[in-house]
Amino acid sequence: METRSDSPRWLVDFQCPRCAGNVCLEETERIFTCAYCRVKLCLGSRGPLECYIPAPPGQDDNALYVPYWRLKGMAFTCTARSIHSGAVDLSHIALTAKTLPWSLGIQTQLARLRFLAPGVAGTFFAPTLTIGEAIAGCEANLKQLGMPPWTETALHRAWIGEQTSLLYYPLARRDGQIVDALQDRIFESVGQWEARAPAAKQPDLQVRFYAATCPDCGVDLDGDRDTLVLTCRNCDCAWKRGSEGLEEMPFYVIPDKTGEEQFGLPFWRIRVGVGGISLESFADYVRFCNLPRALTPAMAETPFFFWVPAFKVNAALFLTLIRRVTLFQWQGEFEQRLGSLKCHPVTLPAQEGAESLKTALVDLAADKRNLLPRLGDMEIVTKEARLVYLPFRARGGELISPQIPLGIQRKALQYGLNI
């Protein structure tokens, strides 16, 4: 529905598994249509996607490939004073090696990536740091650099919608030194490196390809780039993209009978249990937020749900959408047909949406002072998560919901496609 910006980003070159034609994707893309054979395919991987930056010609056999974790998504930090939020696009070394840069920076984005596969020349080192340890390392390094909000004491921090991958960067032995194979920087002597060199690994093929066609009727599914849910207009059904194939995905649509062109924005309707806080009914929610509403018996009998965007946007807008749509608490009917609805990509899994709820609680709470110290020990358990498309109508550069007094700038949705 919306398009992406042309800003520089990591690109992966490979060959189409059907016709061997050249394909180029952004590192976060998982669905593509080959320009040569016109076959639409999904890309899956067991675990994080593994790519490498090829060493310069002539250095392939002697190249030493060091792993870096790549992380892209949104970060929310709750401090004693406020909630800080923003998009993150980081890399952190996956080894304990103090002489090597902890981050790849942005200069290497000019290099093209390849999928890691058996037979690639060079020595590849296995990561020794988990993604969690790498995130902690990023936080510590950003704090040392004096960058807010990392310098403040965090009562709670959530990384939402993060896409993680392993990227192998080439080093080389040259004149008794370990050097950067791309930028000729000297890091340390060969002797120092070999004295504590990490264990090498055998490159393995992690990438799997499967057809992006409806398992029921065989037509091409709607959805591209990195959407998690593809839809079939012929069967009126939806399919969740997995690492090995497609799984049928239940969905619901809030009806709009006007007949106007509609754009469906996906939300997760999530019911949770929160340790130490009663949020079973809408009446509990009204009390928790201290809303200016008169409590009625019907409110006490109405189950309460959080409504979390199933797509990425500016982190501050993400919290605003949770607050506005959750406050509305749609109680009307649902449909299970797409019709002519133009669906915005689902780029945030339900589990990731649930991880944002501690931050959302702080944003919603009337008594933040008493809630903040309890965040670290608070447990949130997801009881139910349902994908619901909320219809919007285009009005110039804005999308307007006919059911909820809510408007979203289309540029904000476009920005979210690049997170």
Phi, psi (degrees; rounded to nearest 5) at 286: -60, -40
The proportion of the chain whose per-residue pLDDT surpasses 70, expressed as a percent, equals 97
Q: Print burial letters for 306-333: b (CB count within 10 Å at least 16), e (below 16).
A: bbbbbbbbbbebbbbbbeebbeebbeee
For residues 393-412, give the mean pLDDT.
90
pLDDT at site 122 = 92
For residues 59-81, give the mean pLDDT.
89
* DSSP string over 360-381: HHHHH-S-HHHHGGGGGG--EE
Instruction: Give yes or no for a contact between 74 and 83, defined as CB atoms under 8 angstroms apart.
Output: no
Instruction: Give yes or no for a contact between 286 and 293, defined as CB atoms under 8 angstroms apart.
Output: yes
For residues 368-390, give the mean pLDDT.
91
For residues 397-418, give the mean pLDDT.
90
Phi, psi (degrees; rounded to nearest 5) at 59: -115, 10
- Is 271's pLDDT higher than 90? yes
Q: Which structure tokens are listed for 237? A: 């059904």
pLDDT at site 154 = 87
pLDDT band at residue 107 using 50, 70 and 90 as cut-offs: low
- Is 2's pLDDT higher than 60? no
**Where is pLDDT greater, at 90 or 386?**
386
pLDDT at site 149 = 82
- Is 328's pLDDT higher than 60? yes
Q: Which structure tokens are listed for 303? A: 């189950």
pLDDT band at residue 260 using 50, 70 and 90 as cut-offs: confident
Distance of CA 100 to the CA centre of its chain: 27
The angle subtended at Cα 42 by Cα 164 and Cα 4, nearest 5°, is 65
In tens, the pLDDT along 208-219 reads 999 999 999 999
- Is 358's pLDDT higher than 50? yes
pLDDT at site 108 = 63
User: What average pLDDT does the chain have?
Assistant: 90
The two counts, helices (H) then strands (E), for the chain are: 9, 24
pLDDT at site 375 = 86
